[in-house]
Amino acid sequence: MVFLFLIAALVALLLDPVVRGLQRCRLPRGLSVALVYLSFLAALVLVIVAVATAVVGQTKTATDRFNGYFANRHGTIGQTSADRDVDRLQQWLNTHHLKSVHIRKRGHKLVRQIQQRDVGKYTHKIVTFVEGAAISIGKTLFSLVLLIVVSVYMLLDMERFGRAIDRRHPPRRGEDTLLRSMEHALASYVRGQVLLSLIIGTSAGFGLWVFAAVGLLPHAQQYALLFGVVVAVTEVIPYLGPWLGAIPPLAYAVVVHPISALWVALLFLGIHQIEGHVVVPNVMGNALRLHPLLVIFGLVAGAEIYGLPGALTALPLLAVARAIWEFFADRVHLEPWSGGGDVPVEVELAKTRTLRP
């Protein structure tokens, strides 16, 4: 319950500036809230449909290519692409003074085992799983009705809530109200996260496209954009994002050309190092203005309390907490301790009655 209301509050704080912008066009607040949420839901539907269609379509294409890699035979001797790659790898070892390493026989045996186990059956299961996962994610997103309802009520009463806070804790001259400070902190977090995702996603997609152009990752030109989008989305998860985003291109490289997986791993290792030492300190450091240890503590605490959703909302909650702390830091004063010595205490003596014999 507490986590649900925290998420609803974050959503309301993020959308409140948009609602105020519509109110400046002389629209009632209720109508402004309705327009914002209808636009948000329409955009969400488009994103879900586009992502689900792209993921399912690209998965089908990749599985067809996987089937062809192990099943389609070429040439007069009827070798598959997998058999050819095994021979090429053995030839590469032989030309680099590694003739003692014999992998041709074992490699062809592994290819025959994969062919005998009906690759198409397993790839069909993968496609079915991806389709089911896409449908489940869509249903889960649309089942968050309670979260939307709570955030709508919060957004409708945001002005009243802000006036109540200002009466109790009025802002000083030239200072933003507490509500506006929290909104600015969340807006800064969103701008920093979007910029970070764009930088990392573009770098990964462009790097994979270059690898495909020079032949280090065959047939990856048509997947470079999709892999870049995946990396940009997973970048929302701090620290783990770059490694999670590297899984799809690595899996593709292992299937298409195992040697190219080494180049893909080196690419993402370099991206991770640049992200950790250059991009994140300059982008998210300026956006959140938080110490890295506090960020790590927030992520670990969020993950322990509520799993992945807790880790995802840890940084925006920390941004809001920083805004609240900065607002009240100069307003909280502790009474100084008095000087040394005993503290005088008033004592009322009880009256005693004398008994006469």
Instruction: Kindly report, residue by residue over 46-103, the tens digit of the pLDDT.
Output: 876 776 676 666 666 666 666 666 666 776 666 777 777 777 777 777 777 677 777 7
- Shared domain check, 117 and 2: yes
- Shared domain check, 177 and 141: no
- Shared domain check, 203 and 150: no
Give the domain range for residue 226.
Answer: 173-328
- Shared domain check, 14 and 146: yes
Q: Which residues pair with 79 in a beta bridge?
A: 74
Residue 14 lies in a domain: yes
- Shared domain check, 218 and 184: yes
Residue 99 lies in a domain: yes
- Shared domain check, 191 and 118: no
Residue 338 lies in a domain: no
- Shared domain check, 187 and 90: no
Residue 353 lies in a domain: no
Residue 335 lies in a domain: no
Q: Which residues pair with 80 in a beta bridge?
A: 73
Q: State residue 206's pLDDT score.
A: 93
- Shared domain check, 229 and 152: no
- Shared domain check, 180 and 148: no
Quickly list DSSP for 52-110: HHHHHHHHHHHHHHHHHHHH-EETTTTEEHHHHHHHHHHHHHHHTT-TT---HHHHHHH
- Shared domain check, 113 and 258: no
Q: State residue 353's pLDDT score.
A: 61
Quick one: tokens of 49? 């449909």
Angle, CA of 14, 275 and 206, to the nearest 5°: 95
- Shared domain check, 9 and 148: yes
The last residue of a domain, from among 156, 190, 213:
156
Residue 67 lies in a domain: yes
Q: State residue 122's pLDDT score.
A: 53
Residue 275 lies in a domain: yes
CB 190 within 8 A of CB 222: no
Which regions in the chain score pLDDT beneath 50?
none
Of 143, 175, 273, 259, nearest to 211 by C-alpha is 259
Kindly tell me the burial class for residue 323, based on how many C-beta atoms sit within 10 Å of its own C-beta (0-12, 13-18, 19 or more).
buried
Tell me the torsion sign for CA atoms 11, 14, 17, 22.
negative
- Shared domain check, 93 and 49: yes
Residue 164 lies in a domain: no
Give first-to-last CA distance, the chain, whole Å.
Answer: 73
Domain count, the chain: 2
